[in-house]
Structure 1
């Protein structure tokens, strides 16, 4: 039985702190090229982008993160065109596709957790670059409340890859049993963290999913997390 105190909390983002946000598509890329840069897009670029996105999504489910710069470079190659400054296009693309908005109740919970002196880590799968996710947290008034951000877009692999959880443990102080991982997905936010030696709690407003271990606490909203930690054994 784990007798360590919970010294750090790792929080998922989409579905936990915020409603999942939109993901760019081929039409968004074409719109950014024309509206932000005044560049004509090669014929068929939108279709090529969506094809590469689908392939990247399949790899994503296997734990591999494909940067949007790579997606766009591949798409341009498929339409036999010379790509522009892809870093600039990607940056403009994420500015044009808004991130999810942090739930005010979730934000209040994060502030309460910060006052408890625990380490806080944002730990999530996302294609959004870390600078843009920091901007989202800043808008919510939370960027300074997190000690570290572990994003799949930044480290190159996704939950439930064990390397993702190893990065979370390192960011949270290096003691797995002292870390509580909180999220809304059974395999990514409970099973994976537990296999890495962390504790876990599931955010689930409805019926708990089949296969959820009996000792995993369930909260309907992350706003309940501070009270859960107060009564943690």
Structure 2
């Protein structure tokens, strides 16, 4: 297996999964913003709109901007949100975000030191600025050559064009990319359908922890050893062929 690039998921892989913004949290943040008016019924309306939007997005693998969800909910209940884009950023920034653990950061630095190109590839409501901030806080922002985010692309994994964007960001053929993440469909089946290699990062006790016809690592800190094994195996096979 000749691997030249690593594409890695964020939530549930690089960092523990954080909470999603619900109506109560969103209303609390919006109420404190200048010139906004948030009626009592906003939380319930927001939750309904967000649930419908997410279900629809998942059906077609698109990504509706969080600001558009705010704008729609506001229209339905008479809320006043002068700048939905800034408001969306404030709501998301107020969510508690689990940090990238030190041992995970060490693993990423170890991988990057081998010369492997690294790309962050994830479905997320957060902006590139926010995701870069999380990487910077763990001192690994410089390890990532590019970020491919559903919030920027407008498409979610497992849309085929998402993986095309990953390949373009890596600048190498799909078969030279290893995709690592915690979701069997989005991070294993999808990448493999696009011609990439893939490994599932998921504890064995999780119900969805078995990668379809593939490898399963319990934690991302196992990835450097895994990469060393598969690349060494490839080098051995190549040497045997040459002989």
TM over 0.5: yes
Structure 1's consecutive aligned runs of 4 or more residues displaced over 4 angstroms after TM superposition are 207-211
TM-score, normalised by the number of residues in structure 1: 0.92
Please, which moves more after superposition, 32-41 or 146-155? Answer: 32-41
Query: Number of matched residues?
Result: 229
1:120-163 per-position Cα deviation (integer Å, ceiling 9, x unaligned): 00111111112111111111111111001111111001111111
Q: Is the 8 A contact 2:63 2:154 kept in 1?
A: yes
**How much is the aligned-residue C-alpha RMSD, in angstroms?**
1.8
* Structure 1 stretches lacking a partner, 5+ long: none
Write the distance in 2 (CA, Å) between the matches of 1:211 and 1:204.
8
Are 2:35 and 1:11 aligned?
no
Q: Is the 8 A contact 1:106 1:222 kept in 2?
A: yes
Report the more deviating stretch, 220-229 or 27-36. 27-36
Indicate whether 1:26 and 2:6 are aligned. Answer: no
Aligned partner of 1:56 in structure 2 is: 53
Bigger proportion of residues as helix: 2
Contact 1:14–1:100 (8 Å) recurs in 2? no
Which moves more between the two structures, 223-232 or 59-68?
A: 59-68
Q: Check whether the contact 2:104–2:221 (CA below 8 A) recurs between aligned residues.
A: yes
Rounded Cα–Cα distance in structure 1 between residues aligned with 2:209 and 2:144: 32
TM-score normalized with structure 2 length = 0.88
Within 2, Cα distance between the matches of 1:210 and 1:21?
19
Matches within 5 A, 1:1-233: 5-37=2-34, 39-62=36-59, 63-206=61-204, 209=208, 212-214=211-213, 216-232=214-230, 233=233
Q: Shift of the alpha carbon at 1:198?
A: 0.2
Q: Is the alpha carbon distance of 1:199 and 1:8 closer, same or farther for their aligned partners in structure 2, counting shifts above 3 Å? A: same
Q: How many angstroms does 1:8 deviate by?
A: 0.1
Aligned match of 2:238: none
Shift of 1:99: 2.4
Moved more, 29-38 or 118-127: 29-38
The DSSP-based 3-state class of the residue aligned with 2:32 is: helix
Question: Given that residues 194 and 200 in structure 1 are in contact (C-alpha distance below 8 angstroms), is that contact kept between their aligned partners in structure 2?
Answer: yes
Q: Deviations over 1:19-58 (max 9, x none)?
A: 1111111112221122343744123111111111101110
CA distance in 1, matches of 2:69, 2:12: 25
Once the 2 structures are TM-superposed, how far is the Cα of residue 9 of structure 1 from its aligned partner? 0.3
Deviates more, 1:9-18 or 1:190-199: 9-18
Q: CA deviation at 1:113?
A: 0.8
Alignment CA distance shift 1:213-1:185 (3 Å): same
Q: Supply the distance in 2 between the matched residues of 1:58 and 1:43 (Cα, whole angstroms).
A: 25
